[in-house]
Amino acid sequence: MSLRIIVLAKQVPDTRNVGKDAMTAEGTVNRAALPAIFNPDDLNALEQALRIKEQNPGSTVGVLTMGPPRAGEIIRQGLYRGADTGWLLTDRLFAGADTLATSYALATAIRKIGHVDIVLGGRQAIDGDTAQVGPQVAQKLGLNQVTYAEEILDIQNGVATIRRHIDGGAETVRVPLPVLVTVNGSAAPCRPQNAKLVMKYKYATCPMERPADDPRADLYASRPYLTLNQWSVADVDGDPQQCGLAGSPTKVKSVMNISFQAKESKTLTSSDADIEGVIKELLDEKIIG
């Protein structure tokens, strides 16, 4: 059975490798100092999508992402690993979106794409760690949902069997398609880029990524697959009031840099006298016993 699969992927700042210059003196995030990467859990989702494609001949995998023009890189990364196509949602009207407005934009784009059997995404993105967008997209499209998936075991006759992580254990569930599945970071890692696909797609770009007088204009004219889909709010028939900041019920009241209250501490050496001293002190004050 051929299946139409969409992978939701996000370009994120690499918050796991935050260096000293990641925060400005004013306590705001210095995005320029953080490299932009393919959200890790989304790579696990892409791998599950590619496996389903291999097991179900005729299936297609498309990568859907939202972000500034440079997020076209996420689609290329998907193509390098075996995705068939991709869509970049980019528009200033999408900016400042919380999870609800993000899910509105993604759901609207998926409706525009048309019939879909499986939507896959990472469990959460490392810049927000909310895990909210997947279930919200599922709700908006009326799709069944399975979160925290570790492996899609099989798909037969329009029913998927999925093993998922739960608190303190594991579960196996059966769910009819269409379904939205969020994939946990503990699922199989994504395959590496394929050299031939890198050669094929390395110049694939969205129109907004290209310079004004592009030296590769002829190449793009002769090879349409090198022009990636780029959609604005209008292109997906979106309601601007439900997008970006305007469509976000949550507002950021304030942001603070974390500073921990420094304490006056007693500094000791590793000498026997010092160690015995601290143990006696804690015992005398009944802090330990």
* CB 68 to another protein: min, Å: 18
For position 11 contacting another protein by CB under 8 A, the verdict is no
| 226 within 8 A of 104, measured Cβ to Cβ | no
Strands 159-166 and 144-156: antiparallel
Upper half-sphere CA count for residue 156 (Cβ side, 13 Å): 4
Query: CA 4 from chain center: how many Å?
Result: 20
Region near another protein per CB under 8 A, out of 57-65, 79-87, 120-128, 222-230: 120-128
Binding pattern for the stretch 46-85 against another protein, x by CB under 8 A and - elsewhere: ----------------------------------------
For position 287 contacting another protein by CB under 8 A, the verdict is yes
Q: ∠ CA(49), CA(82), CA(133), 5° rounding?
A: 40
* CB 76 to another protein: min, Å: 25
Select 132 or 227, whichever has its Cβ closest to another protein: 132
Region near another protein per CB under 8 A, out of 158-166, 187-195, 212-220, 226-234: 158-166
- d(C-alpha 242, C-alpha 94), whole Å: 9
For 29, the 3-state DSSP assignment is strand
Select 230 or 248, whichever has its Cβ closest to another protein: 248
Region near another protein per CB under 8 A, out of 19-27, 80-88, 193-201, 213-221: 19-27
Region near another protein per CB under 8 A, out of 61-69, 76-84, 134-142, 223-231: 134-142
- d(C-alpha 67, C-alpha 91), whole Å: 8
For 11, the 3-state DSSP assignment is strand
58 CB-contact burial (10 Å; exposed 0-12 / middle 13-18 / buried 19+): exposed
CA nearest neighbour of 152 among 260, 57, 50: 50
C-alpha torsion 123→150→107→38, nearest 10: 60
* Beta carbons within 8 Å of 192's beta carbon, 6+ residues apart: 81
For position 24 contacting another protein by CB under 8 A, the verdict is no
For position 23 contacting another protein by CB under 8 A, the verdict is yes
For position 249 contacting another protein by CB under 8 A, the verdict is yes
Region near another protein per CB under 8 A, out of 57-65, 92-100, 213-221, 224-232: 92-100
Total interface residues for another protein by CB under 8 A: 78
Select 185 or 207, whichever has its Cβ closest to another protein: 185
Select 129 or 214, whichever has its Cβ closest to another protein: 129
For position 119 contacting another protein by CB under 8 A, the verdict is no
Binding pattern for the stretch 259-278 against another protein, x by CB under 8 A and - elsewhere: -xxxx-xxxxxx-x-xxx-x
Residue in 5, 97, 116, 146 binding another protein, rule: CB under 8 A = 146
Select 60 or 161, whichever has its Cβ closest to another protein: 161
- d(C-alpha 108, C-alpha 242), whole Å: 11
Binders of another protein among 168-227, rule CB under 8 A? 168-176
Q: How many CB atoms lie within 10 A of CB 220?
A: 17
Residue 276 backbone phi and psi in degrees, to 5:
-65, -35
Identity of the residue numbered 42 = D
